[in-house]
Amino acid sequence: MKQFKTEKYTDFTKAVNRKKMEKAITHVESKFGKEYSIIIGGERIRLDKKFHSYNPSQKGEVIGTFQKADEPTAERAMQVALKTFEAWRYTPAKTRAGYLFKMANIMRRRRFELNAWMVLEEGKNWLEADADTAEAIDFCDYYALEALRYDKGPKLYKYPGEINKQVYIPLGAGIVIPPWNFPLAILTGMTTAAFVSGNTVILKPSSDSPGIAAIFMEIVEEAKVPVGVVNFLTGPGAIAGDYLVRHPKTRFVAFTGSKPVGLRIVEQAGKTQPGQIWIKRVVAEMGGKDLIIVDSEADIDSAVAGVRTSAFGFQGQKCSACSRLILDDKIYDQFMKKFIPTVEAITVGPTKDNSNYMGPVINESAYNSILEYIKIGKSEGTCVSGGEPAPGDGWFIRPTVITDIASKHRIFQEEIFGPVLGVTRARDFEHAIQLANDSEYGLTGAVYTKNKKKIEKAKREVFVGNLYINRKCTGALVGIQPFGGFNMSGTDSKAGGPDYLMLFTQAKAIAEYIGSRKTSKKTPRRAAKRKRRK
């Protein structure tokens, strides 16, 4: 069997790779303004109501035009998904896995194009975009191999006179609602996990990233995944999305996004509808208020680099991004003296220019919300860096650091989803852990210390789904660091891990009575002897 290996990142210090990326950006820009269809059962559908995807680095520049799905279109997608499921559910795991291997290879071939879409539609810098594509490839390969493993079933103990096995069967037709911030990786992971397990999918991407989702559908079709297995539905979640979440035939909902939307989905999916004969499965990843503790016995230079990347990579628009920095009072001044110059050195601008480390935030609504939080932060603490928009025609905000933040402050407690870092002093390591756990979220966290006893204490007591020791709190790798969090961070789904496909399947135990082999072999002989005596 093929061995899983994570995809290497592209080295953009090499001129040949820079030229390929520049060419890909020009190619994608040439496609700006194109209209994209809804795809249901392989059929292209155009509707009267439409919406646009915009370039966040250039206000008003249209990336593409997309269809606003309504309830009748959503119902049509559901009926196709249900019909397709009747045959797809019995497709051998090896065949289903084969489609994912094909998709991974297509993504490798189209890698720079995929990167360019994320640079232009989401404002990712080149490295962040390439990492997103690499993760999407990893999801395809990993879940294909996992499907083959699940197909073998678990090892059960033997029982005399029976053959016992447990098989994993698919759930049915489900809804996949991915986010805009990992518009290829998470979309790919959720969708492929669902359909490689034998389910059919209605894919409803974010309205901020429908362009890269449309390219994903091109890859699905290029890999010749049977029509109707993945159906592509664009538009506002409040129309088509809510309708499908409530639908009595929806078997599962896989969602990644904000806490309010996630809780709404959990609530709606939890209400049994007329004709519904199952409990809907909800897989939800809902964000975080992630922390990094820097202890008095930490490697300060390593911690400075890790905090900078964790807080300001992709403009802080990651559910795993560090937004709470907890510093031991003994090293506070030393750390900040080294840290602030690295923040002020961050370049902000359109990410088609590879010299810019930070790009725009995703849209005007996010821009206004982040600036409002910065205003709140200034009233609660002291802004020591950034705290204002950056120049340019996009939604640019300078990386912002606010000190003197207490645990009761909103900047400490509420998810901002932008380049804003709150800094809090801790009296000692014990106090730092108390501060770390003072949150309704529990997604990621990192602890920097050289003290082995403190490391063990952190492993036991820091309450997050993904804990990192002496490294950044972002960048979980498929198959290596299964990803998902506690409390209001979601259902701890552990995407990219060995338990994930279980969320899209149901286990069926089968016991077949075969009797005693010893008895069955002697019975014909005994019958013959009785016949001769007669």
Catalytic residues: 285, 319
Phi, psi for 269 (deg, rounded to 5): -65, -25
DSSP code at position 362: S
Distance CA 130, CA 121 (A): 14
| Amino acid, res. 460 | R
Ranges of beta strands (E only) in 288-370 are 290-294, 322-328
Q: Are 421 and 323 in contact (CB under 8 A)?
A: yes
Phi (first) and psi of residue 336, to 5 degrees: -65, -35
3-state secondary structure 70-98: CHHHHHHHHHHHHHHHHHHCCCCHHHHHH
Do 320 and 446 contact (CB within 8 A), yes or no? no
Strand 50-54 and strand 382-385: the pairing is unpaired
Report the C-alpha gap between 485 and 296 in whole angstroms.
27
Does residue 473 contact residue 292 with C-beta atoms inside 8 Å?
A: yes
Question: Which strands sit side by side in the sheet containing 466-469, from one edge to the other?
Answer: 382-385, 400-403, 420-426, 322-328, 290-294, 444-448, 466-469
Rounded Cα distance between 512 and 164, Å, is: 6
Strands (E), 278-367: 281-285, 290-294, 322-328
- Of 344, 367, 343, 347, the closest CA to residue 358 belongs to 347
Distance CA 419, CA 386 (A): 9
